[in-house]
Amino acid sequence: MRQMINAATNERMTFKELTQLTVDIALSLVHIGVKNGDVVSICSENVMEFLPVIYGTLAAGATFSAIDASCGGLSSSHRFNIARPKILFCSPSTYNKNKDIITSMAFIEKIIIFGEPIEEAIGFKEFLTQHANVDDFDTAPVNPLEDDAIILFSSGTSGMPKGIRMTHYKYLIVLQNWYSEIYTGMRSLVVVDWYLSFGQPLALFLHQMGVTLVYYNNADEKKYLEIIQDYKINIMASTPTGVNFLLKHENMYDISSLKAVFVAGAPSDGIMLQAIKKKLINAKLVYQYYGMTETGCIASPRRAPGNPPMRSVGVVRDLFVIKIVDLESKKPVGANQRGQICFKSPSLTKGYIGGPVDCFDEEGFFKTGDIGYYDENKYLYVVDRIKDIIKYNGFTLHPAEMEAVLLQHPAVLEVGVTGAPNETLVELPTAFVVLKPGATATEKELVDFVNEQMSVRMPLAGGVRFIDKIPRCIGVKVDRKKLKQMLQQN
C-alpha cells in the first residue's frame, strides 16, 4: 500500500487519504478568503499534513512557500518578509520558537497549528471546515505560465537567502524531469527536511511516482540505519556526508533492502559511490545528481548512454543547454577543461524576490557559480563553487576535492575545508574534522594522509581543527562562511 509513514510514531496516511485531505484543505483555504496571488506558508518539521498543505494551496490557486523551521531571529524574519504569507501553518514547537516573530508580522492574517489551538492560533481540525468528494472537486484556475506556484529559498551561502519564484509550468518541468516508473511501489527514507529547497521537490517527486515515504525528524544517523532495516527501505537520497556515515556503519544493520542511493547537494568523489555499489549488492541504482534550486535537476547518470564514470553527474537532462566558460576570458572551453557551468532551460526560475542578481551572461545563459568540465563522451563533472576556491602559494585548490580525500580516512565522519587568511600565501587551506564516534586520529596523521594523495605540496598548510559538528547551510552544504568566522574567533 502506498502511504506516508512517521517512523517515530508509526502513524500512517494512505495516498487516498492524502488526496482527500488535499481537497478539504483547498476548500477550507478558499473559505477563509485565500485566492490567487496569496501566499500560504508552513513553518514546521516534517509532519503528515505537510504535503497535503502544499497540494491544497496549489489547488486553491494560491502560492506555497516553506519557511526554514530551524532558523530563528533575523534569518526567520528575513524569510517571512520575502514570502509574506497570508496564512501560516505551524507545528507547536516551531510556533513557540518563532512566536515573537510570527505575531509581529502584520501580513499574517491567520495562524493554524498542527494539533490543538495555542493562543492566537487555531487548531488544524478547527480550520478544516469544508469537505467534498474528490471526484466532485475542481481546482481553482491559474495561469500556469505566469502565476507563481512555489517560492523556494536559496541556500544563503553568499548572503541572506533570496526567494526563488517558480511558476506552475516551470515547477511541473522540475518534477517531470525526475520522473521514472521504475521506482513505483518502492519505499523511500526521507532524511531531508521538507521545508528545505532540496527536500521539498524530492518529497513531491517521490510521491508522484507512487513511492511510500518514510520520514523521521531527528537528525540521528544510526536511527536512519535502523529505519532502513526495520521498514525495508529501497530508496535513500542523501548528501555525501550522509552516505559516508552509511558506509562506515553498514555492518551494524541489515540494509540490504536498498536498491537505489541518490547523492546530491554537494560534489561527491567516485570512490565513495563505488564503495556503495560494492557493499550494497542490491543497490543497482547509485547516482550522483547535479541541480540547483533555481531549475531542478540539471544532469544525472540515469539516462546516460554507456557507463558513466562514478565521479561524473552523468549527462545533461532534456531541455537543458550547457556551456563551460573560462573563468577569466568567459569564452567557451573544450572537453576536459575546467570552467564555470552555464545553462539555459525552460524550468529556470521566473526571478528572485529579495534583490536583483547578476546571474546571466550576454547570451542569456544562467551562470551557476559552479566549476566543472565535460569529457569526450559529454559526461559532466562538478568540481566546486567558484567562491570557495582557495588561492594558496600560487595554486588554485578546491575544498570539495580535499574533503573527498579526507572522507576516505577510516576515522573521519564529516569534514569541511576553507581558507585561513595569510599575508604572504593569500590563504592557508584548513580542515575542520568530525571524527567517527570511538575513532581517533591526530592532526599530523590527517595532514600526512592528504599530502600523500594530492600533488600540491602541503595542501593542508592551515592544519586540522577537530570539532563536534560541521556547520551547514540549509542542512546540506558546508557553511564555509561560518568556518571562516570560527577561524577568526580562534
CATH label of the domain that carries residue 414:
3.30.300.30
Q: What gap in Å lies between CA 7 and CA 415, rounded to an integer?
A: 29
pLDDT at 312 over 60: yes
pLDDT tens readout for residues 351-385: 899 666 678 898 999 999 999 999 999 999 998 88
φ/ψ bin of 463: left (φ > 0), alpha (ψ from -120 to 50), beta (otherwise): left
pLDDT more than 90, % of the chain:
51
More confident residue, 60 or 68: 60
pLDDT more than 70, % of the chain:
93
pLDDT at 158 over 70: no
Cell (9 digits) for 45: 518539521
φ/ψ bin of 115: left (φ > 0), alpha (ψ from -120 to 50), beta (otherwise): left
Q: Which of 175, 213, 151 is nearest to 15 (CA)?
A: 213
pLDDT tens readout for residues 32-66: 999 999 999 999 999 999 999 999 999 999 999 99
Q: Which of 210, 211, 141, 149 is nearest to 174 (CA)?
A: 149
Domain boundary among 142, 174, 192: 142
pLDDT tens readout for residues 446-463: 999 988 887 666 778 889
Note the pLDDT of residue 311. 87
Q: What gap in Å lies between CA 141 and CA 448, rounded to an integer?
A: 63
Contact in structure between 105 and 25 (CB atoms under 8 Å) = no
Assign 472 to helix, strand or coil. Answer: strand
Burial class (CB in 10 A: 0-12, 13-18, 19+), 68: buried
Note the pLDDT of residue 423. 63
Assign 156 to helix, strand or coil. Answer: coil
Structural domain tally of the chain? 2
* Across 328-346, average pLDDT: 96
Q: What is the DSSP string of 236-273?
A: EEE-HHHHHHHHHHGGGS--TT--EEEE-SS---HHHH
Note the pLDDT of residue 474. 61
Note the pLDDT of residue 348. 94
438 in a structural domain:
yes
427 in a structural domain:
yes
Cell (9 digits) for 34: 485565500
Cell (9 digits) for 445: 596523521
* Across 84-91, average pLDDT: 97
More confident residue, 157 or 101: 101
Q: What gap in Å lies between CA 275 and CA 277, rounded to an integer?
A: 5
Q: Name the average pLDDT for the chain.
A: 88
456 in a structural domain:
yes
pLDDT at 221 over 80: no
CATH label of the domain that carries residue 7:
3.40.50.980
* Across 143-168, average pLDDT: 87
366 in a structural domain:
no
Range of the domain at 102: 3-142
Q: Tell me the whole-structure pTM to 2 decimals.
A: 0.84
Domain boundary among 112, 142, 172: 142
Residue 172 corresponds to which amino acid? L
pLDDT at 490 over 80: no
Residue with cell 529547497: 197
Cell (9 digits) for 301: 547518470
162 in a structural domain:
no
pLDDT at 425 over 60: no
305 in a structural domain:
no
8 in a structural domain:
yes
CA distances from 60 to 34, 64, 143, 166, 174 (A): 7, 10, 13, 17, 21
* Across 388-405, average pLDDT: 80
pLDDT at 14 over 90: yes
213 in a structural domain:
no
Domain boundary among 142, 162, 181: 142
